[in-house]
Structure 1
Amino acid sequence: MSLRWSSAPISRFAKEGAGTISRPIRALRGGVAVALVVGLLPLSVGSAVAEEPSSSSCTGQADQAADAVAQAVACASPVELTSADTAYETVHVNPDGTTTYDMGSEPVRTKVSGAWKPIDRSLVGGAEGIEVASPLAPMTFSDGTTGEPLATITTGGHELSMDVPFDLPAPEVSGSQLTYGDVLPGVDLIVTVDDDTAGFGEVLRVDSPQAAANPALDELEFPLATSDDLDVVSAGGGFEARDSAGEAVFTAPQPQMWDSSADGVIAQANAQAILAAPFGVTDDESAAPVVETPWAADVLGDDVAADRTVAPVEGDRVAQMQTTVTDQDVTIEPDDAMLTDSDTTWPVFIDPKVKAKTPAEWVMIESAWPDTTTYKFSPDQGVGLCDYAVTTACTKTNKQRLIWEFDDLDWLGDLSAADVTKATFKVFGTHSWDCTPRGVTAYVSKNISTGTTWNSNASLWGTGDYVAQQQITVAHKSGCPDSPTRFVSWDITKAAKWAADTNKSSFAIGLKAHTEASMQQGWKRYRKDASISITIERAPYAPTNLKFTDPAGACTTTDSARPVLRGDTPTVSARLNDPDDNDSASQDQLKGHYAIYTVSGSSKVWSYDTTSFHNAQVDIPVKVSAGKLKDGVAYYFDAYATDESGKAGPVSTKCEFYIETSPPSVAPGVTVVSGPYHNSTTPSGAVGTPGTFTFTTGGANDIVSYKYNFDDDAMTKAASPGANVAFTPKEPGKHTLYVESIDRAGWASSKHAEFVFYVRVTGVESEWRMAENTGTTVADAQHPGDSSRALKLTGATWVDGPIGDLDGDGHADSHAIHFDGAAGHYAQTAFEPLATDRSFSVSAMVELDSAGRNATAVSVDGDHASAFQLAHRSGAECVGAPANGCWGFFMNGADAAKPTTTSVTAPDEVVTGQWVQLTGVYDATAKTATLYVCTPGSLTNPVANSAAFTTPWMAFGSLQVGRGLYNDAATDPWPGAIGPVHVYQGILSAGQIHDTCAGAGA
């Protein structure tokens, strides 16, 4: 007889909208990482709330890591970090700063519509058939509708469907079990949802030899369909459906068939027990040895009525069935002997199972059947020696061991052994032979699978990595007052540390009875739902981002690149890091420890420990104490961190440096590389003519750069040693190049250089005709687009000019500006339009309202005095001292507050209210100053007087109309009108002057 599962495309059984696809089981790995990386929180006791926490605030749960930390400290109890929960894992933040990770062999919750809900394996009606209420892996079962597969299971976007080769009636539903009655005569199909809701088992219950003889059972094909991304392969006597990465997504252990022999064994053993009862039993190990009463319950425990439709009961006759997997089907060969043997106890059960791969597995291995396994047994199994000579409840003399494997522990492999502080393995003890405690030892086991057997595993225990963890002496039996059934624990800290140090993402723990080889009394039973608990506290990482912040400096261990820091109290900085801080919410708390050593000899010269705790991933600066460091000595600083438990991390890399405590004491030098400029008051160059400069150290050491600026002592521009800096003047006059040197510590020299040069004025002709007759600006008629040459008026008014009403329209044909003689009323240009140390001419039409004091019509400012003035003078300065004074052309011999003045005056007395044209001419060749005075419209030559002038100088100020400059102050404001003003770089002849004067009256 054979049972055959054929592999077929998923489309054969799939329907539109069928089934909910859950997330991959492997995705739980990410959940574990989040749980641990976010949840491993060194806690700050100093940050605990001083107030007694209210009972309402001590909920024992928090969604955010920071809230979990605060509650754990305040309430002095562990707090579950719910945001880190997964189906199998629960993370608790502890008050002492550690984190405990608990993982069970079975899930404790599942995601339904995005929210965690308790596992519920109840079967309910659904849109596509009969569904599991709240499963880990969604499953749908046939409701008897024609064409639907028996079962469909999904996980992580993968799907597998299994069908049967006969029609299915509507099933009878009871809790988590479906019974399809009489699928063949005398044969029921029973489907049971696994306790973990990650899979299901189906058994054919064959009630009698007559039912077993049905030809329809000779070969049964169970069609098996998968999604396109899965391949079905033989594995461990069963099969696996693997993804493209070779990971098992669905597993089917080696199928079994079993009869109901345990019913007879139990009856026989209990009958024997009744006969033997008068002999009694003893739990006194000091008494003489006796044969224990052979109750079946002493082997089977109290749960002798285990559900045979799920798994065989201890004492049942069991046969393992081998499978052969091809591209098209999976064939199972049952044990024909069991089906035809007259000693077979009916009914017989034939069992294929399918499960989604989960992060935990468990098996029972046994010496009497060394090449077979009981994979994911339910509900419990035995450990120790089951001796047939002692009790017929044991079908053979047999040694049994139990193994649990816990996967998806990638986070553990990322740790070191020192990070693991404690680990335990816990499982529920359902039964022991008697009430006397005897030893059970936990071992590290080789990892398991559906194909794990006694032969492939047991001989490794106690060798190599598979070392004993802890032996405990225990009994757990119903009816024993001091040793009831209960959870018992083993210390597996060594195993967890080993897994961390060897980068394991999974490990297995096995249980072995200490008296396995010789004593039935060592027999015990344990339930499948085991768990591990690992408490972790990782040491901080080495600090990073070492640097200097005040003054700034980069970290280096290269001699030539060591920064030189200004002063002896630099600020050092390091970023404290913790492996458990992957999220700002975790608020890991660390202290920093800093130290400075000499590079030569590594002598410690300074250290500092932060007094408060700081969050991880934060730069913590610390100022070095004064008087600890010296000029010219090479130092380095390093740092390490400690967490709240005092666990210290490794020391950082070194960060080397020097210091300098004082700036360079000498100013840098300035050298002209190109251009006409020199450090002198003598004008040189011109507007638009470039010059290039470079800087020298001035004799200072360790100069690494310069700061400079032209005409700005802020010195904000930088230059490297030997670099050239260029300057093209846009204005004539005084310019200053300010320079300071910067040493390698960033000190600026205590003295700076000032390279002063004067840019010559390039004189051209300018003329202000006063044609506007309105506004506050008079344009230069020769340069109308150049605003810098325009006269800006202050306190001036417009009046008629010297040319009268020639066209008879009742208005003067020229205009002028009028000043009232008050200080601050004047007009000026933006800069000097003349070179006053060279030949020039200046003329102006003027009219004086009052002759009682000196008044200046046109001048050019120096720094302290005017270079020249066309002006009116009164009293003794005029020849003959006329009452109304005289006109004059005055040239000052130096730019000084009270310079020596050369005066050229006209012989005629000034007539107030009358227009005259004044013209001053300086001849640089003849070294003479000449004044021309004429009346507009006159046909006679202008009156001319001259005087020798031998000390011309360049004035760099602006052209002034209506005032002069003397003794560092504006002086001689003009009381009257001023008409057109004309300047010319050169000498105007007497004839040219006559023509302009005569034209004014034409």
Structure 2
Amino acid sequence: MLFATAQPLAAVADSAAPGEGAASNSARSGQGETPESLAVAEARRSGRDVNVPSLENETSEVVAKPDGRLAATVHTKPVRTRKAGAWRDIDTTLHTTGGGTIAPVATVTDLEFSGGGTRPLVRMSSAGKELKLTWPTPLPAPVVSGNTAEYRSILPDVDLRMTATDSGFTQLIVVKTPEAAKNPQLDQLKLGMTSADLTVRKETDGSLSLVDKAAGGTVFQAPKPMMFDSSPGLADGSGMPAQAPAQPKQAPAAPKQAPTAPKHALAAVEAAAAPSTHAAPVEVAVPKDQKSLVLTPDQKLLDAPDTVFPVMIDPDVRAPRAAGWAGISRYWDTQSFWKFSGDFGMGYCGDQGRCVPADVKRVLYSIPVQGQAFVGKHIQDVKFRAWEAHAWSCTPQPVDLFVTGGINSRTTWSNSSGVGSSSFWKEYLATRNDARGPASSTPPTPPRRPAPPLRPLPAPRAPSTPRPPDGPPRSR
């Protein structure tokens, strides 16, 4: 199984730009220079890529190439944010502010965590619209590491971990022992909620939308929270089968034909395991006065004799983005892992200590291109790039790329990958064999290296007998 992250994934499009005579032609026509033509002229003169500043935003950038082409890179997540009138790379590292709070260096939203005491647990604002959440009791001073602030012993043997993300935060309530789980204060967790600008709307899938009272647009989103114990495959979101079924040998591709899916791609596997009792949704409610957020953990999971502690309860809040990604799991077939955080995983797991038997995972991405300055351009080449963070073996394994149907916060294994829904997998594009195993046995490579670009392919045709992929959370 290969582990990948959503953050650095990007689509890269090369488009035709004005030729060498474009600048003079523009001047003769009275149209003047454009940012693109100026960048192309400088790229030709210098022999280096030249950025087009007017086409740069939080999730994309455009550069002019020395050969006269323009290359646009569109990321699934923000890679930069504008601070004090200038672009800064996203940096979620926490530091202490002068006001006694903890804040990330540079993120899309303005975010602060409590420095302890009775200050709000979190204050987050976007476009001038602010949200505050308050813990019901005074907080201890946090222990800060990287982008995470940990408030220890908020209840006996219960910690609270707040983690800054590029456009919001995640929250983990960590219940460390069976004795702690019996604390009646965990029956319901009531956080104070304050916002003069936003109203909270509960969606049909259990998520929350925080909507601008005046304009009506969604400013923040909170997916339906989940809780999970520390069973193999849950604490880090892996959950893959310990062994993969033998792969059939792949027949050599016929020359000069459109690519067809190799036999291993979208192959069926053994029957799914019974639903797990080691994870459960957390009920969330917002009273009519909209002054609190009430979380109700699943008591059956907390009290079950086979629950493996610690147990984590994980609500999070983020600013909405047009791009999206989703993990789907054969084992957790009805659970949505929309916009999962961190490494998710894909394929078959090779580490029995981190696997849920009979699971298979796949990762889906949606990269919007509308509004990316492609109108009027001739697209010459498109590449899809993803980062491989880790693999269980140094032996290269196939990673398959498909065009699929649309994805959203309701995408699960059952409604996208189960038998009978093969129409979701519309078009096979390519396979790349790769691996990034343990450092002790795999030749060293730069950390988070991108996959080599895919070669241009002829128009692919759908497999003659498509089969849906088989398999909670990690990436394809």
Equivalent of 1:373, from 336, 350, 353? 336
Distance 2:298 2:311 in 1: 11
Equivalent of 1:252, from 219, 222, 237? 222
Q: Measured at CA, do residues 265 and 156 of structure 1 come closer, stay the same or move farther in structure 2, by a change above 3 Å? A: closer
Is 1:189 the counterpart of 2:160? The answer is: yes
Q: Post-superposition shift, 1:200?
A: 0.9
Equivalent of 2:423, from 451, 463, 484? 463
Partner of 1:410: 370
Partner of 2:258: none
Distance 1:265 1:340 in 2: 18
1:871-919 per-residue CA deviation (whole Å, 9 max, x = no partner) reads xxxxxxxxxxxxxxxxxxxxxxxxxxxxxxxxxxxxxxxxxxxxxxxxx
Q: Measured at CA, do residues 235 and 356 of structure 1 come closer, stay the same or move farther in structure 2, by a change above 3 Å? A: farther
Q: Post-superposition shift, 1:481?
A: 4.7
Partner of 2:308: 345
Of all paired residues, the percent bearing the same amino acid is 29
Q: Post-superposition shift, 1:264?
A: 11
1:52-99 per-residue CA deviation (whole Å, 9 max, x = no partner) reads xxxxxxxxxxx9545422221123443222343222211111233332
> Would the aligned equivalents of 2:399 and 2:434 in 1 still touch at CA under 8 Å?
no
- Residue identity in the other structure for 2:145: S
Q: How does 1:555-594 map to 2 (within 5 A)?
A: none
Residue range with higher mean Cα deviation, 254-263 or 207-216: 254-263
Equivalent of 2:189, from 217, 220, 224? 220
> Would the aligned equivalents of 2:91 and 2:107 in 1 still touch at CA under 8 Å?
yes
Distance 1:462 1:200 in 2: 35
Q: How does 1:784-803 map to 2 (within 5 A)?
A: none
Distance 1:491 1:316 in 2: 41
Partner of 1:239: 208
> Would the aligned equivalents of 2:211 and 2:220 in 1 still touch at CA under 8 Å?
yes
Distance 2:235 2:339 in 1: 24
Is 1:429 the counterpart of 2:395? The answer is: no
Distance 1:514 1:458 in 2: 9
Q: Post-superposition shift, 1:437?
A: 4.2
Distance 1:42 1:449 in 2: 37
Distance 1:358 1:107 in 2: 9
Distance 1:444 1:283 in 2: 23
- Residue identity in the other structure for 2:132: S
Provide the secondary structure at the position in 1 that maps to 2:179.
Answer: helix
Partner of 1:44: 20
Q: Post-superposition shift, 1:338?
A: 2.1
Q: CA RMSD in A?
A: 4.2
Provide the secondary structure at the position in 1 that maps to 2:66.
Answer: coil
Distance 1:219 1:84 in 2: 48
Partner of 1:966: none
Equivalent of 2:399, from 434, 440, 451? 440
Q: How does 1:653-664 map to 2 (within 5 A)?
A: none
1:715-738 per-residue CA deviation (whole Å, 9 max, x = no partner) reads xxxxxxxxxxxxxxxxxxxxxxxx
- Residue identity in the other structure for 2:371: W
User: Structure 1 length normalisation: TM-score?
Assistant: 0.36
- Residue identity in the other structure for 2:380: T
Q: How does 1:160-309 map to 2 (within 5 A)?
A: 160-194=131-165, 196=166, 198-234=167-203, 236-243=205-212, 247-262=217-232
- Residue identity in the other structure for 1:441: D
Partner of 1:508: none
Is 1:140 the counterpart of 2:140? The answer is: no
Q: Post-superposition shift, 1:363?
A: 1.7
Is 1:101 the counterpart of 2:101? The answer is: no
Q: Measured at CA, do residues 495 and 228 of structure 1 come closer, stay the same or move farther in structure 2, by a change above 3 Å? A: farther
Distance 2:132 2:22 in 1: 57
- Residue identity in the other structure for 1:144: G
Q: Measured at CA, do residues 107 and 412 of structure 1 come closer, stay the same or move farther in structure 2, by a change above 3 Å? A: closer
Partner of 2:57: 86
Provide the secondary structure at the position in 2 that maps to 1:71.
Answer: helix
Provide the secondary structure at the position in 2 that maps to 1:444.
Answer: strand
> Would the aligned equivalents of 2:198 and 2:210 in 1 still touch at CA under 8 Å?
no
Distance 2:136 2:435 in 1: 46
> Would the aligned equivalents of 1:435 and 1:483 in 2 still touch at CA under 8 Å?
no
> Would the aligned equivalents of 1:208 and 1:346 in 2 still touch at CA under 8 Å?
yes
Equivalent of 2:435, from 441, 457, 476? 476
Equivalent of 1:319, from 267, 280, 285? 280
Distance 2:84 2:458 in 1: 37
Provide the secondary structure at the position in 2 that maps to 1:363.
Answer: strand
- Residue identity in the other structure for 1:474: N
Distance 2:248 2:402 in 1: 29
User: Structure 2 length normalisation: TM-score?
Assistant: 0.72
Distance 1:482 1:223 in 2: 49
Distance 1:413 1:325 in 2: 41
Distance 2:371 2:286 in 1: 36
Q: How does 1:765-780 map to 2 (within 5 A)?
A: none
Partner of 1:130: 102
Partner of 2:31: none
Q: Measured at CA, do residues 263 and 183 of structure 1 come closer, stay the same or move farther in structure 2, by a change above 3 Å? A: same
> Would the aligned equivalents of 1:140 and 1:152 in 2 still touch at CA under 8 Å?
yes
Structure 1 segments (4+ residues) deviating >6 Å: 263-266, 282-286, 482-485, 492-496
Distance 2:395 2:325 in 1: 27
> Would the aligned equivalents of 1:258 and 1:317 in 2 still touch at CA under 8 Å?
yes
Q: Post-superposition shift, 1:454?
A: 1.9
Structure ranking higher on relative contact order (CA contacts 8 Å, 6+ apart): 2
Partner of 2:317: 354
Provide the secondary structure at the position in 2 that maps to 1:262.
Answer: coil
Distance 2:375 2:421 in 1: 25
Q: Post-superposition shift, 1:137?
A: 1.0
Q: How does 1:960-975 map to 2 (within 5 A)?
A: none
> Would the aligned equivalents of 2:187 and 2:297 in 1 still touch at CA under 8 Å?
no
Distance 2:411 2:21 in 1: 48
> Would the aligned equivalents of 1:323 and 1:332 in 2 still touch at CA under 8 Å?
yes
Provide the secondary structure at the position in 2 that maps to 1:193.
Answer: strand
> Would the aligned equivalents of 1:475 and 1:483 in 2 still touch at CA under 8 Å?
no
Provide the secondary structure at the position in 2 that maps to 1:454.
Answer: coil
Provide the secondary structure at the position in 1 that maps to 2:39.
Answer: helix
Unmatched runs of 5 consecutive residues or more in structure 1: 1-35, 49-62, 274-281, 287-314, 497-512, 519-523, 528-1002
Provide the secondary structure at the position in 2 that maps to 1:473.
Answer: strand
> Would the aligned equivalents of 1:445 and 1:461 in 2 still touch at CA under 8 Å?
no
Distance 1:250 1:487 in 2: 31
Q: Post-superposition shift, 1:434?
A: 4.0
